[in-house]
Structure 1
Amino acid sequence: MASWIIQMTVMVLSVFISGGQGKRDKVLYCSACKAIVDELNHSISQVDPKKTINVGGFRLNPDGTMKDKKVPLARSETHLNELLDGVCNSMSDYALYVDPDTQHKQYKRFAPRESGFTGDFPDFKNFQFAGPETTPNPLKFACETLVEELEDDIISLFSQDAEHVHEELCNRVSEYCSDSSHANEEL
C-alpha cells in the first residue's frame, strides 16, 4: 500500500513539474529574460574596465607567495552574483507594450536610466500599465523565477563575455524566446 502511494505521489509530482513550465506565458518570460540580459549588460557597462578582483584559492606557493589571479571586476562571479541579487528590482521600469502596427506584445523599458538619457521618450500610449490594485508585478515574478532557475547559466554566459547572450540565454537555454515572433526583437 505504501509503495502505491509513493508511486502515485511521484507520478502526480512529475506531471505537475513537467507541466509547470509549459503553461508559463511566453511573452512574459521571454520579456523577463531579455530584460535580465539588458539590465545586466547595462550594469556591467557602468563598471570601470580597469577595476579587477582577486580570485582563486589563495593558496601559498612553495616559495611563500600567494597564488591568486586578477580578473576584471565587471564580469567576475562575485560581481555578477551581486548584480543578480538586485536585477529584478528594475522590472518596475518595464511595462507591457503593444506594437500599434502588428499588435505584437512584449514588455519594454519605458523609464530612462539614471546614467543619462540619450534616446527619445517612448510613446506611452502603446504601453499598458498595471494599476495599483495589481500589487504583485508579474514581470518581477518572472524575473525572479528565471534568476532562480538559470543563475548558473546567467553567470557562466556573462563571465565568459559571450556574444549574443540574449539569444543564447533566452532562445537556447530557457527557450522562452525560441519561437520566431520573439526571438530577434530588442527591448
Structure 2
Amino acid sequence: MVISKYHWLLLPVVLVPFISCTLARRGQDVHCGACRALVDELEWEIAQVDPKKTIQKGSFRINPDGSQSIIEVPYARTEAHLMELLEQICEKMTEYGERIDPDTNRKIYLRVLSRDGKKMDASNTNIGREVISDLKFTCERIVEQYEDELIELFSHETENVKDKLCSKRTDLCDHAVHIAHDEL
C-alpha cells in the first residue's frame, strides 16, 4: 500500500480527537478523585472534634431588655472551623495513590496510608510524585473554586455530600452513578 503525502495530513485529524478525549477523561478522573477524597477527609476531620466543644455565636450587643442574643453552637461545623480545615486539608492528598479500576478503566484515588500513618495495601497503585502533586493541586483548586459550596454543605449535617458536591453542584464526577459509596 502506498501512502501519499495527503494521507499524512489526515493523521492529526484522526489522532487529535483521540488524544484530547483521553486527556479530558484523565483530567476528569483526577478532578472527581480529588473531590471525593476532599469530602472524605473533611468528614473525617469533622468527626474527630469533640461534640461537646462549642463556641458562642450571635450578637454581643445588649438588647433593650438587658439580654444578649448569644447562643452556643457545636464547633465542628462552624464556618471558623471549616475555614481552618480548608486551609490545610489538601495536604492529606499525599496519603493517596492512583489506581486503574479494572471494570471501568478509569483512574480512582484511594488512601495508601491509614489515618494512623501505617502503610496500606498499595499493590497496583501509583504513588509517584506526579500523581500526588496533581491530586494535591487539583484539591487546592476545588477548595478555592467551591469554598462557599463546601462551607454550605458541611456547616449542616448533610447526607451524600460526595454526590451533592462532586456530581450535582460541580459536575466534577459525571460518572458518579458508577462509583461505589464508601463509608468512613
What is the TM-score of this pair, normalised by structure 2? 0.77
Amino acid at match of 1:33: C
Change in 2 beyond 3 A, CA 1:135/1:95: closer
Identity percentage over the alignment? Answer: 43
Do the aligned partners of 1:171 and 1:183 also contact (CA within 8 Å) in 2?
no
Instruction: Structure 2: give runs of 5+ residues left out of the alignment.
Output: 1-23
Q: Distance in 1 between matches of 2:32 and 2:178?
A: 7
Query: Shift of the alpha carbon at 1:125?
Result: 1.8
Query: Shift of the alpha carbon at 1:176?
Result: 1.0
Q: Distance in 2 between matches of 1:94 and 1:110?
A: 5
Which residue is 2:35 aligned to? 33
Q: Distance in 1 between matches of 2:38 and 2:92?
A: 9
Q: Distance in 2 between matches of 1:149 and 1:79?
A: 19
Match of 1:49 among 48, 51, 55: 51
What SS does the corresponding residue of 1:124 show, helix, strand or coil? coil
Q: Does 2:108 match 1:106?
A: yes
The superposition leaves residues 57-101 of structure 1 with CA deviations (integer Å, 9 ceiling, x where unpaired) of 322211333321211100111111111111001110011112345
Amino acid at match of 2:85: L
Instruction: Structure 1: give runs of 5+ residues left out of the alignment.
Output: 1-22
Q: Root-mean-square deviation (CA), in Å?
A: 2.6
The superposition leaves residues 11-61 of structure 1 with CA deviations (integer Å, 9 ceiling, x where unpaired) of xxxxxxxxxxxx581110101101111001100111111111111232221
Which residue is 1:3 aligned to? none
Which residue is 1:129 aligned to? 127
Q: Does 2:134 match 1:138?
A: yes
The superposition leaves residues 131-176 of structure 1 with CA deviations (integer Å, 9 ceiling, x where unpaired) of 4xx4970001000000001101001101111111111000111111
Match of 1:168 among 154, 159, 164: 164
Amino acid at match of 1:53: I
Structure ID, larger Rg: 2
What is the TM-score of this pair, normalised by structure 1? 0.76
